[in-house]
Structures are given as C-alpha cells and as structure tokens.
Structure 1
Amino acid sequence: MKVDLTSGWQVLQDVHHAGEALGLPSGDLDHTEIGHQLSEWEPIDRLQHLQVLFSAEPYWGRELRYFNQAPWWYKNEFTLDEEGSHLELRFSHVDYYCEVWLNGSRLGSHEGYAVPFSFDVTDLARRNGEKNLLIVKVWSPWDDDVQDAHHAKRAFKVIRNMVKGTYEHDDALIARDVNPVGIYGDVELIVTDAVRITEQPSIHYELDDGKSSAAIAISAKVAGSGEAKVTATITDVTTGFVVARVTQEVELSAEPTSVRIEARVEGIVLWNTWDVGEPRLYDVELRAGEANTNIKFGFRTVEMVRNESQTTLILNGKRLYVRGTSYFPDVYLSTLTSERYRRDLHAIREAGFNLIRIHVHIQQPEFYTLCDELGLAVMQDSDYNWTHPEDEEWVKRLTSIYVDAMRMLDHHPSIVTWIGLNEPGFFGTLDHSGGKALTESPGPQMYEAITAADPTRPVIRGSFCNFDPLSGDTHNYRGSLEGNHEDYVEIDGTTEKLNTEFGFDAPGCEANLRSVPRVYKRLKSALPRLAAIQHYQARLIKYYIEHYRMQRWNPNSGYIQFMFIDLSPQSFYGAYDWWGHPKPVVDELLMSNQPVTVLVEQTAEEATGVLLINDSPRSFGTVAVTVAVRDEGRTLLEKTSEVDLGAREQVRVLDLELNKADSARIDVRLSAVSGSGEVIARNQYDDMFGHPRHVEGHPHRLSHDFGMRLYNA
C-alpha cells in the first residue's frame, strides 16, 4: 500500500542559512516572532521546480539567481491510519542536495536529481491519527571557481561542482541564471506487511548462438521473516503468453536477503529499433508473499566495433546505421509528462530517427519506457559536461551518481550505449576533446566504473574524443558554432566514422515568439531575416545528413543531429520550437533522414550521381527511380531508371554531370517507386548550388541575460 504525500506542502527560503540553528527541523519555531528574520511558510499546490512555481519567467533573468543563493525548506504534516509492519518514505526526485527529518529525527541526506531514494521510518512514524511532521531542506548552489581564472570563457570553464547537466550550459542552450531546484515527482509512504521486495529487480540473460532462446537470471532483495515463496513470471507483452514461471522458497530475515531466480525462455523475439524490426518486450512479475513488482525488458545484443577505420554500432549481430537526434526538451524536467514524451517521440520516429542521444542529463523513467515501446535506441550521457573538479572525492561522487542512474535504467533495451564524459577538456582545440580529464581524471575512473556496472553495453569514454580508442566519435560544427568565417559546404572532402553532434540554431515560429514579449522585443530587429536563418538551418542539416549518408559504411556509420526540440523559448537548436511547432528543416528530414532515401551525390561545386539507400531489412526488388533536373526552368534531364534494391543496400542509380560554374539555378526532383506502386522515397533540391552564406552575427553574439543567440539583432 502507498500513502501519497505529494500534496499539502509548504515552503520557505532560508535567506540567512539559519534554519538548523533556529530549530526548523523540529517545527517548533514561531515564524512571526521579531528578530530571527525567517520567512513565513508558503503553501504550494504541486511539487515542481521552485522556479516554475514562483517565477513568471523561469527560463531567463537575473532575478532567478536568488533561488539558488540560499536553501529552501519544505514542510508537510500528515496523519497515518494504515496498518503495516514496515514503513518506507520514498522520494522520486529532489534537485539537488537535500536533508530529511521526520518528527524531529534526521533521516539522512541525498545528492542528485534523477534517482529515487528512500528511508526506513518504521520506528519514527506516528500512527493512529497522530500528526507527523516531515521536513526537507533542499539546495542547488552556484559555482564560483573558473579554471585558470579564464573569465573570458567562463561559460565553458566554470568548475561545475554538481553532477548535474541542467545548469551552467550557457552557449545559447541553458541561460546563465537557470539552476533548477526543488522537490518534484512523487513523495510517498510505502506500507508493507511481513514480506517486501526492497529494491528494483535486475535482469541478466545470455542468448544462445542462434539468438532464439535465452538463459535468464532475475536478482532481487527480499526482506521479511520465516519462509516465503518467491515466484518470477515472464510474459511476452505482445502475445500475452507466459513464457516462463519459476518458484523457489527462501528463508527471510529482517535484513534484505538476496534472491536469484533462473529460467530458460525459448522462441524469443529480439528487441530491435523500429526501422529494422520489432521492439518486442517481455514483462517480469516478481512476487514474494503478498508483495509484487513488475519490470519490462527486451532481449537483444549490442556492441561497438572501434578501430582506425570505423566506429560502428552492432545491434543483434548486424550493423545499425545511426540516424540520430539529441533530446533535451526542457531544462525543468519536472514539467515533462508522458503525454509530452509521447508527442515528441512519435514526431522523432516520423522524422526518420532511430536513435536519441540524451544530452548531459538523465530523463524521467517514462521517457525510457516509451523508447522501449516505440523502438527508439538511446545513447545515454552522464551529467559530465566541459569542466568539473578532478579530485578523488569529486570523482567518487560522479561515478557513484552515474552508476546509480545506470542501475535504475539497466533493464531498458532501448539504451544501447553509455557515455562517460561529454567534451572533456574542450576549447583547447576545435577538432577534438581530450586532455587530462579524459586520460587522468575522471575519464579512466568513469570508464572502469561504467564497464564494471554494465559489461553488456558499449561505453564511449569521452564524446568528441575521436582519437581515443575507447571513444571514437566526432562533433562537427563547421558552418555553425566553429565561427562565422566558415560555411557548411566546407565539410566537403572530410570523413567521420560516427558523428554524435552537428547542427545549427534558428528561431522558430514568430507567432510563438510574440507570446514571450521580452524575448520577442530583444530579438525583434533580427526577425525580418527569420526566414533566411531558418533556411540556413534547413540547408545545413540536409547537407550534413546527405554528406554522411554518401559515406555510408565508408567510413561513416551514422550521425546525431543537435537537437530535436528547443529546450526553452529562447534556445533555438531544435528542428521543432519549444512549443512543438516544426521549423522548415523538418521538411528536409522527411526526405533525407528516412530509412530509405534517394539523394544527389554532390559537393558545393558539382553533382556526380544519384544514390538510392536502404537502411531497412526489407528487400524492395525492382524500383523505378525518376530524376528531373531543371536549370532556371529549362529541362536538362528527365529520366526513369530501374534498379534492384535489396535489404540494407545502397545502389548508384545513374551518373550526373552538373557543375555550379555552368549553371544558373539547378532544381532537382527525385522519386523512388516500388514494383507495387509504393513511393518509398522522394527528395528535392531547390537551387542546389545556391548555398546560403553563414548567418550574420552567428554564433558569437549572445545575450547573456536571456542566454539567447542574437544574430544581427
């Protein structure tokens, strides 16, 4: 039984850091007494980040800094009538540091924001209708130290002491003054009788050589007294059939007892991404006495082949060409709902992506469950980004917090890769990261901790450390963040094994921007060029995607666009704006980013052929590809060619001889139709060689009050 404690809360900010000295944990203080200057308690109607509750503009502004300059205290008074031999107080999310008291007794502390934690309050909770007083102190402080006192690069060099990627990311992503703080999600008392399952079960399996059956082990901890039957039931979620059920008797004690149940499952269906197969899931119900818990998982194998010529993700023994996007839908994770996730994830699939990188944070559990169901692979970052302490104590905190998150997420088949560090030691060079953070601390310690906690998934030790044999991926911002002196066509002639970041930021729908008057006013003088900025974003992303797909497996194994949806009203990296409205780039994704695409093999100066690419396991047989080329309305080519397109194949349809120097304006239309009449791919190029120049004022002009790109405003 669960007692919901998510309502009835009151808060105050302890502006002089005097709460403990004044006896706040005991609740005896008269808050109106003259002298102590302590605030009065304020009721709140829900548990969310405090900036969302109390600020009219939580995404920017100097006034937000006061939320983090002093701790906050929460109070909840409740009665307990339920019977039960064991009481556990559980918090799903507290951001970031906290201490907890019940009825004047200190229960303990916690650091983090993503992983639930709990306390045994069996002996402290009052029953039979007596009042209980729950007090929580919460704080998420600012950091002051800047590496090498390099204040001109403070946004990148501030030494982030918290293991938290939702603050101090002021490169037009998270505004300078935003640092989420507060309790959110669920707070509950879990009331159990004699037998209880004390932690989330873990699931480990080994597939046979044919990947059609598996030996599975389910491990859990169970507490109680005397003998108890523990039963594990495994059900195929799609068919509803029970595929295995095993019961064993265990001798329990008050301290949790480790239980391991082994079973064999025959005739399994592997979990795959949506574009190459079925995301088949299985449900494990673990029952001990009257206690039970359920957890879903999927059977699959994943590995990464890394050497001088490739960085390739292998799913179920086959190469997976990654068409990915980054996802960081809101800096305030407490605002996200399953409905919001479902909307975004369906749009991600429609846009052709098969993998999502969760950029320097941990999402809420509902997100990963939906990725499991929808067949979207996940590349999961830690919260490490740019610059952090390197001492032993901090590294232990970092590894402990990330490994706890890994254990919480371990059962999700959608998670195919862990990332230890993002861009460690960056800003020494523009073509890779690295340095001591990667090779001395915390890179080796993180890699060791991650691989020990989960030997079944590949680990990228440091993202953008392309020369590191334990990493192997690249970030590429030519024509974008690398400076206004470059245009995106300068990627011509370059190769990358696996790109995990590229993109460009462009504001979205002007009508939506108008709904945020202060943002709109500051950006207004740049908005006459809004269509041109959006056009540049669309052309850049299309050019990058097709540049990578032309190198498919030679050497490129995929790409991850940064990012899918804007993180706030005034951050513009997304293909969709913060309100969920598509930018023009989405039209390009619907053509160039699909599992099956047809494209022009091109550089900035010439077009040399037409390629038909199939990332799916479907064999299409004979496909009719139609190519139409016009130069300022004059027809240069209209031709339909038939080619055979097999599973996971790439076919050169025909050669082209088009040159920028010989043309005024080249427009191209492509379509691919299967033998059954299905249009399996289409593409178009308007003014193919007319590449726009890098947007004026980008990327170097930024309003630090808003954390917003200014362009020429």
Structure 2
Amino acid sequence: MKKYSLNGLWKYRLNDGEKYRDIQVPSNWYLQGLNHSGKVHYQKKFEISTQKDKDYYLIFKGVDYFCKVKLNGRLIGEHEGYFQEFSFLVNDILKDGENLLEVEVDSPREPNDIWPDKKYLIKGIFNHHDTRPGSWDPEQGQDRNTGGIWNGVLIMEKAKIHMDKIIKVSSLLLKDGRARLDIDIPLDNNDFPQEIETKLEISGIGFKENFEINKKIFLSSGKNHIHLVKTLDKPKLWTTWDRGKPYLYNLRCKILNLEGEDLEESSIQFGIREIKIDDKWNWYLNGERFFPRGTNIIPTQWLSEYDSEMIARDIKMLKKANVNAVRVHAHINRQEFYKACDEAGILVWQDFPLQWSYEETDEFAQNAVSQIEDMIDQFYNHPSICVWCCQNEPSINRNTLDPLLYMTAKAKDSTRYIDIASDFAYHPYPGWYTSHYFEFHSLPAAPFINEFGAQALPNVETIREMMKEDELWPPKWSVWAYYDFQYDPTFNVAQIDMGKSLEEFIENSQNYQAKLLKYAIENYRKNKYSKITGIFQFMFVDNWNAITWSVVDYFRRPKKGYTVLKTVYQPVLIGMDLDREKVGLDMLRATGFPGIWVVNDTLNLYENLHAKIILLRGREILAEKEIGIGDIPANDVKRISYPPMLKESIKLNITERGIYTIEMELRDIKDNIISKNSYKIEVV
C-alpha cells in the first residue's frame, strides 16, 4: 500500500474566466485571506506512476461543505458534510503520468429566510452560534466562512483485496475480569473469489502484552465483513487520568494470499473500557461510579489550523486545570484531537453538529441520519468517547428529528450512551441570564449539568488585538457585539462595574466570572452523588479572538477563571460552606466558622488527614489552627464538624471590618499537601 500526498500549493478561482491564484491545501480558505461564502474552484496538477494490478483511491480527509470532484475532466463524485473522510475509486480515470484534479467546493451563506430557524447545513457551531464571528446577528452571524479543503488529500494505491474503511473493535467486560473483543474487519475484494489469510497482532502501547489471531477466510467478490473474537484474560483498562492510566492497545492487521504475499497492512489504536449512564444520570466507568469534572470545548473556528502543537497545548491546559471530561460542543473535531484525549485519559461527550433549529423536510432528516452514521463509524475506536448526543438545544426538531437520530445512533453503537438532545434543561445560567449566581446553592438543573458559566473579557493584550483603539474605549458596543460580547447580561444581570478604564473593566469582568465558577462548582461538587452526578462548565477556550464564556482566550492566555477551575476541579478538594461574600461583624461573632467538607473523586482511600486553616488580613496571619479530618473514603464526600476552638479562634481574631482571607490546606500524615483552597470575605 502506497500513499501519494496531494497536499501543498493548489490553484483556485471564484468564477469561470478568472485567473487562477495560489492557495494552500489543506486550509480553510478564510485563513488564506479569502473571506468568502459560496463556491471556490480548486485545481491541482500531479504526476503518478500506476500499476495495472492495483486499485487507486482518491481520498479527501475533510472538505467543508459541498464538493464536486473531477479527475481529468470527468466527474467522479460528489459529497456533502464538513467532517467526513471520503474517497473515490479512480482506476479507470487515473493516468500513468500527469493528471488534473478539479474540486468545486461550496460553503454557502444560508439565505435570511432560512437562517437561523430552518437551516439545512449540518455544521453546528461553525455556521450558527453565540461564540462565532458575528454571534447570532441576522446579518453578520455567518461571517468568516469556514469553507475549504481543510484536511489532507491523497491518492492511495492498494491491492485488489484491501480493507474498506476502518477496522472497528468493540469490547465487553466480563464479570470475572476478562475482556472479550469483537473485531470487525471490512474488506473489499475487487478480484475473483478466493481464500485469504488474516494475521492480527494486538500489543500493549507502553506495556508488554501481545496476542495473535491467525485465520483463513474465503472472500466473495465485492464487499466482505470479517468478525474475529479474542478474549483477554487480564486486560489493561482505559480510564481517566485521575483514576489510573489510560491504557491503549495497537491492533495490526495483515492480509495475505495463500502464497504468503502481503496484500495489505493496517493499524489502529483502541482501548478497553466500559461506560454506562443510567436513567438518573449516574455515570459508571469500568464498573465504578464516576463524576465528570467537565468543560465544553470549541478549540477553533477553522479546523485546518488546529495542528498537533495546538492540540498538545490544549490537552496540557485541560489536565493542568484538573478537567477529566470534555464536551465537544455542537461540532465534530479532527481525529488528532480524539487521539490526544485517548492518550491523555480525558473522557469525551461528543455532540452531533446540530445547533438550535433546522428545516423539517424528509430530505434533511435523511441527510442527518446518514451523517450521524458517518460520525459514529469514523470515530468509533476512540475509547475516550463515551456519549453520542444528537442535537444541542433543539426546538421543534426535538420531537421530530432527534428521536430518529437517537434510534439510528442506538442501532449503530450499543457500547455508548446515546443522548437524544442536550436540552436547555441541562443548561442553567444563574448570574448570567437569570437572577444571581447564589442561586447555584439550590443546585439548578440537578442531577446533571452540561452547561453553566458567565462571560469574561480576555486579557488586555488579547482584546487590543481584537479591535481598533477607538472601538475599545469608550466601548463601541456594536463592534463589541460582533465579537460576541453580551451587553444586557453583563450590566443588567451580573451588574459588572465597567470602572474608569479598559483595564478596570477587564479586572471586574474576570473577577465576576471567577467568583461565579467557584461558587457554582463547589456547590455542585459537595453534593456529589447525593444530588449531583456530573458537571460540564461552559466553556474552556475561545474558538476565535472574541469575548465569550471561556476561561482561556484564543491565544491560550488564561483568564482568572482558569485559575479557579484548576482549584475547584482538584480531584480531592477541601472547602467550606461559605454562602455569602459579605457578613456583618456582629453576625460573624454570633455564628462563627462555616462547615467544612472534602470531596474525593479518586479511587484512593486517604487516611489520617488533617486540615490547616489560616486566617489572614492582607499578608498578616491572624490565626492558624489545625483540625483532624480523619479518613476520606474513596470516591465520596465527607463533611466535618469543626471544633469549638476553631470557631473561637476565628471570632477572636476578626475584630474589625475589612477584607479577610481564609486559606485551607488538606494534609496527610507526612504533612504533604493533598488539596488547597481559599476564600475571601468582607466583614462590614
């Protein structure tokens, strides 16, 4: 099997008769300086040496959105959808020597009488969302189009007998600890019916474990499916990084004819794990209850720029923030991102790219069914993916389209949880769209929450790259709205003070987001399993240089909310029941110190722990006490009744009004710090 890359410099033009200009492939055309919606005509000349006893496939790894493909003047096929890999058999058209490839790509702007309520493009957040260029504005909400040949193009030379699509591995965990693998190998036989031999090698990645399966199989002409079953006695299970190691296996499949000649070889990576979510939203990973400390992620608006360096940086920042699960929000990302999550031990909730409302025709439903099958087939082997979700925040489609997608996904993949829709009921926004963030005390949207948060301005160096100086201060609100800033929630719900400068506004905005996230997440986490089964904060990183709910901006500069997320998402977290930011001096003396709790999301028992409580005013330590915590059971929550001496110590040392800090350190018997947290309170 040989691969011939067609990546590199191509030619393009917008209209017939125009001169062709240079463009890089792969790329989204916007990133090449082409701010355009509609058709772009691509052209590529290439040379290749062919053999008569081989098959040749022209493969596209990602084109946004419609495309028509011609080779040497002949139409060879069409495709719709932005995320799929697709291919064409080109034996009869490909020349030995020079060839001309022409691709018409159409990424249209949907008409105003269709967009946004009757959309027909299955692109999710890439053509309608409140974090994209222009937000949801009727005139500007489809700006900066994502069209283009955004992923690689290649010619693949194969034997007449070869693998079609991707080998799929399903795993079943048995009660005795063994794992049974079902290996599905799709084969194309473009030759006469014959017997072949398959050789499978399964090996551990980073650990010693090797298995082989050899089997002779008779193939009919055309498409064939081979199912092989292998039982592993002591499998290494994939799990999240905070619970162990995300063990992965490599499967290498070789196809040979009976003379021993290699026909094809293919390798895939897979993991063995069991994920279950019941009808009360209780999560189980490998038989153990699991609490997702999640975030929503839209890492870029243009997938061609999301390279291995960006992915590695995001994974590092996610783990540093103690995130163990991500929701790929209303879009499908590139294979490399899911591979990175597999290797990092980060669980993935995967949305199908339907965002808000779509047309109600049979043609659209048929297209959506086909594309959700493509999604499941293409990303099936990633152990990190635990959920397929059919639509985000649907309206009328909730009762007409989503049940159909649910049935399709359920039939396609019985190993994962299928969520019919991520409804508004999962998405509470106290402190942003409603009321005050203290409402999180009542645990809105319990038991499972997969969106909550507040906007925050990015750092000053980032926002200065976003707009012109005269648009920044005083703010030109129409320009700010284009960059996704929401005026009404900022000032009329959150009541954030602008201050007297851009720097003050940024400080106040980031402080507000940080306080909201800390209060919300601590309230949710301390009610783990009793009332709350999992949370996904919205959102992690900006998909373009904008003002959104992210805790990390487009240039990967963290906001204050990132530091808070890192603290409140610690796998082991100590905290206190502090339900107010201000307290009267007399009230504090009467009530004393709030209750203490410890959350343990790990599978480890922590024994003989103690907590150090430090009271400060500025940098001055006013009091420092230690209290016994005792044992913290694995995967549980413990509340601690504080001793009277601590209450008296706090009371005696807060003698006047002002801002105080309470620092908490959870330590083991060797005085190693297990968890740290802190609170500020204003005494009035």
Q: Distance in 2 between matches of 1:392 and 1:86?
A: 36
The one-letter amino acid paired with 1:206 is L
Q: Does the CA-based 8 Å contact 1:550-1:601 persist in structure 2?
A: no
Q: Distance in 2 between matches of 1:224 and 1:170?
A: 45
Alpha-carbon distance, 1:231 to partner: 1.4
2:536 to 549, 560, 563: 560
CA offsets 1:509-554 (integer angstroms, 9 cap, x no match): 2123323443x54233352311111111111111111010121112
Indicate the residue corresponding to 1:192 in structure 2.
Answer: 158
Indicate the residue corresponding to 2:206 in structure 1.
Answer: 238
Indicate the residue corresponding to 2:453 in structure 1.
Answer: 503
Written as runs of structure 1 = structure 2, the 5 A alignment for 1:478-497 is 478-480=430-432, 482=433, 486-495=435-444, 496-497=446-447
Q: Distance in 2 between matches of 1:158 and 1:687?
A: 46
- SS of the residue corresponding to residue 11 of structure 1 reads strand
Written as runs of structure 1 = structure 2, the 5 A alignment for 1:468-479 is 474-479=426-431
CA offsets 1:644-683 (integer angstroms, 9 cap, x no match): 11211222233487999x9753421100011132211000
Indicate the residue corresponding to 1:352 in structure 2.
Answer: 322
Indicate the residue corresponding to 2:7 in structure 1.
Answer: 6
Alpha-carbon distance, 1:47 to partner: 2.2
1:378 to 331, 345, 348: 348
- SS of the residue corresponding to residue 203 of structure 1 reads strand
Q: Does the CA-based 8 Å contact 1:626-1:641 persist in structure 2?
A: no
- SS of the residue corresponding to residue 317 of structure 2 reads helix
Indicate the residue corresponding to 1:540 in structure 2.
Answer: 516
- SS of the residue corresponding to residue 554 of structure 1 reads coil
Matched, 1:45 2:57: no
Deviates more, 1:77-86 or 1:169-178: 169-178
Matched, 1:443 2:405: no
Indicate the residue corresponding to 2:93 in structure 1.
Answer: 124
- SS of the residue corresponding to residue 559 of structure 1 reads strand
Work out the number of aligned pairs and report it. 621
2:195 to 213, 227, 230: 227
Alpha-carbon distance, 1:172 to partner: 4.0
Indicate the residue corresponding to 2:269 in structure 1.
Answer: 296
Indicate the residue corresponding to 2:487 in structure 1.
Answer: none
Unaligned runs of 5+ in 2: 135-140, 257-261, 476-501, 584-592
Quick one: structure 1 residues 517 and 584, their matched pair in 2 at CA, closer, same or farther if it must change by over 3 Å? same
TM normalised by structure 1 equals 0.83
Deviates more, 1:249-258 or 1:619-628: 249-258
Matched, 1:677 2:627: no
Matched, 1:642 2:629: yes
Alpha-carbon distance, 1:366 to partner: 0.5
The one-letter amino acid paired with 1:164 is K
Quick one: structure 1 residues 201 and 265, their matched pair in 2 at CA, closer, same or farther if it must change by over 3 Å? same
Written as runs of structure 1 = structure 2, the 5 A alignment for 1:33-112 is 38-55=17-34, 64=35, 67-68=36-37, 70-83=38-51, 85-112=54-81
The one-letter amino acid paired with 1:286 is C
- SS of the residue corresponding to residue 248 of structure 1 reads strand
Indicate the residue corresponding to 1:316 in structure 2.
Answer: 286
Matched, 1:286 2:287: no
Alpha-carbon distance, 1:635 to partner: 4.2
- Over 6 Å off, 4+ runs: 631-634, 656-660
2:413 to 454, 474, 483: 454
- SS of the residue corresponding to residue 531 of structure 1 reads helix
Indicate the residue corresponding to 2:83 in structure 1.
Answer: 114
- SS of the residue corresponding to residue 501 of structure 1 reads coil
Q: Distance in 2 between matches of 1:180 and 1:312?
A: 37
Q: Does the CA-based 8 Å contact 2:171-2:273 persist in structure 1?
A: no
- SS of the residue corresponding to residue 376 of structure 2 reads helix
Alpha-carbon distance, 1:71 to partner: 0.9
Deviates more, 1:672-681 or 1:249-258: 249-258
Indicate the residue corresponding to 1:665 in structure 2.
Answer: 659
The one-letter amino acid paired with 1:476 is P
Q: Distance in 2 between matches of 1:205 and 1:172?
A: 37
The one-letter amino acid paired with 1:96 is Y
- SS of the residue corresponding to residue 442 of structure 2 reads coil
Matched, 1:599 2:575: yes
Q: Does the CA-based 8 Å contact 2:45-2:101 persist in structure 1?
A: yes
The one-letter amino acid paired with 2:24 is D
- SS of the residue corresponding to residue 681 of structure 1 reads strand
Deviates more, 1:568-577 or 1:362-371: 568-577
2:110 to 143, 147, 155: 143
- SS of the residue corresponding to residue 245 of structure 2 reads coil
Q: Does the CA-based 8 Å contact 1:504-1:573 persist in structure 2?
A: yes
- SS of the residue corresponding to residue 8 of structure 2 reads coil
Quick one: structure 1 residues 604 and 686, their matched pair in 2 at CA, closer, same or farther if it must change by over 3 Å? closer
Quick one: structure 1 residues 241 and 170, their matched pair in 2 at CA, closer, same or farther if it must change by over 3 Å? closer
The one-letter amino acid paired with 1:320 is F
Indicate the residue corresponding to 2:377 in structure 1.
Answer: 407
Q: Does the CA-based 8 Å contact 1:479-1:487 persist in structure 2?
A: yes
- SS of the residue corresponding to residue 87 of structure 1 reads strand
Q: Distance in 1 between matches of 2:470 and 2:175?
A: 63
CA offsets 1:10-59 (integer angstroms, 9 cap, x no match): 00113xxxx5xxxxxxxxxxxxxxxxxx321112234201111025xxxx
The one-letter amino acid paired with 1:295 is I
Q: Distance in 1 between matches of 2:437 and 2:376?
A: 37
TM normalised by structure 2 equals 0.86
The one-letter amino acid paired with 1:687 is I
CA offsets 1:56-87 (integer angstroms, 9 cap, x no match): xxxxxxxx4xx11x311111111211435211
Q: Does the CA-based 8 Å contact 1:379-1:416 persist in structure 2?
A: yes
Alpha-carbon distance, 1:315 to partner: 0.9
Indicate the residue corresponding to 2:148 in structure 1.
Answer: 182
Indicate the residue corresponding to 1:469 in structure 2.
Answer: none
1:389 to 359, 362, 366: 359
Quick one: structure 1 residues 688 and 579, their matched pair in 2 at CA, closer, same or farther if it must change by over 3 Å? farther
The one-letter amino acid paired with 1:675 is I
Matched, 1:204 2:170: yes
Q: Does the CA-based 8 Å contact 2:614-2:621 persist in structure 1?
A: no
Alpha-carbon distance, 1:178 to partner: 2.7
